[in-house]
Structure 1
Amino acid sequence: MSYQKTLSAALAAALLLAGCSHENAQQNAASAQTGAAQEYIVATDAAYAPLEYMEGEQVVGFSRDILAAAGEKEGIKFNFVNTPFEGIFANVQKGDSDVALASITITDERKQIVDFTDPYFEATQMIVTADKGSDIKSFADLKTRSVSVQNGTTADLILQDLQGKDSKLIRRFENMPLAFKELAAGGVDATVGDNGVVQYFVANNPDVKYNMFVDPSFPKEQYGFALKKGRTDGLREKINKGLAAIKADGTYAKIEQKWFDKGAAQQEASAAK
Structure 2
Amino acid sequence: MKKGTLFAFVALLALMLVGCNSKALNSDGKKYIIATDASYAPMENMDKDKIVGFDVDFLAEVMKEAGINYELKNVGWDTLLESVKQGNEYQGAISSVSITDERKQTYDYTAPYFESINMIMVKENSTVKNANDLKDKKVAVQISTTADTIMSGIMGMDNANLKKFDSNAVALMELEKGGVDAVVADIAIVREYLKNNPNKKFKSIQDLGSFTPEYYAILLPKGSELKAKLDPAIKKVVQSKVYVEIYKKWFGEEPKVDNLLK
1:208 partnered with 2:200:
yes
What is aligned with 2:109?
Answer: 116
What is aligned with 1:87?
Answer: 79
- Mapping for residues 1-273 of structure 1, pairs under 5 Å: 36-37=25-26, 38-94=30-86, 95-129=88-122, 131-217=123-209, 218-231=211-224, 233=225, 235-261=226-252
Please tell me whether the aligned partners of residues 69 and 246 of structure 1 are also in contact (alpha carbons under 8 angstroms).
yes
How far the C-alpha of 1:72 sits from its partner, in A, is: 0.4
Q: CA RMSD in A?
A: 2.0
TM-score for both structures, normalised by structure 2? 0.83
How far the C-alpha of 1:93 sits from its partner, in A, is: 2.4
TM-score for both structures, normalised by structure 1? 0.80
Q: How many residues align?
A: 230
Q: What SS does structure 2 have at the residue aligned with 1:207? A: helix
Q: Give per-residue Cα distances to partners, 1:174-197, cap 9 Å, x unaligned.
A: 111111111011111000000011
What is aligned with 2:15?
Answer: none
Please tell me whether the aligned partners of residues 62 and 233 of structure 2 are also in contact (alpha carbons under 8 angstroms).
yes
Which range moves more in the overlay, 138-147 or 52-61?
52-61
Partners of 2:144 and 2:240 in 1: CA distance: 35
Please state which structure has a larger fraction of its residues in helix: 1
Please tell me whether the aligned partners of residues 105 and 222 of structure 1 are also in contact (alpha carbons under 8 angstroms).
yes
Partners of 1:237 and 1:107 in 2: CA distance: 20
Q: Give per-residue Cα distances to partners, 1:204-242, cap 9 Å, x unaligned.
A: 1111111101112111101111111012x3x21221111
Structure 1 gap segments, 5+ residues each: 1-30, 265-273
Please tell me whether the aligned partners of residues 121 and 182 of structure 2 are also in contact (alpha carbons under 8 angstroms).
yes
Give the partner amino acid of 2:238. K
Please tell me whether the aligned partners of residues 85 and 221 of structure 2 are also in contact (alpha carbons under 8 angstroms).
yes
Please tell me whether the aligned partners of residues 89 and 114 of structure 1 are also in contact (alpha carbons under 8 angstroms).
no
Partners of 1:54 and 1:78 in 2: CA distance: 18
What is aligned with 1:23?
Answer: none
> Which has the greater radius of gyration?
1
How far the C-alpha of 1:56 sits from its partner, in A, is: 1.4
Partners of 1:76 and 1:243 in 2: CA distance: 13
Partners of 2:79 and 2:150 in 1: CA distance: 20
What is aligned with 1:21?
Answer: none
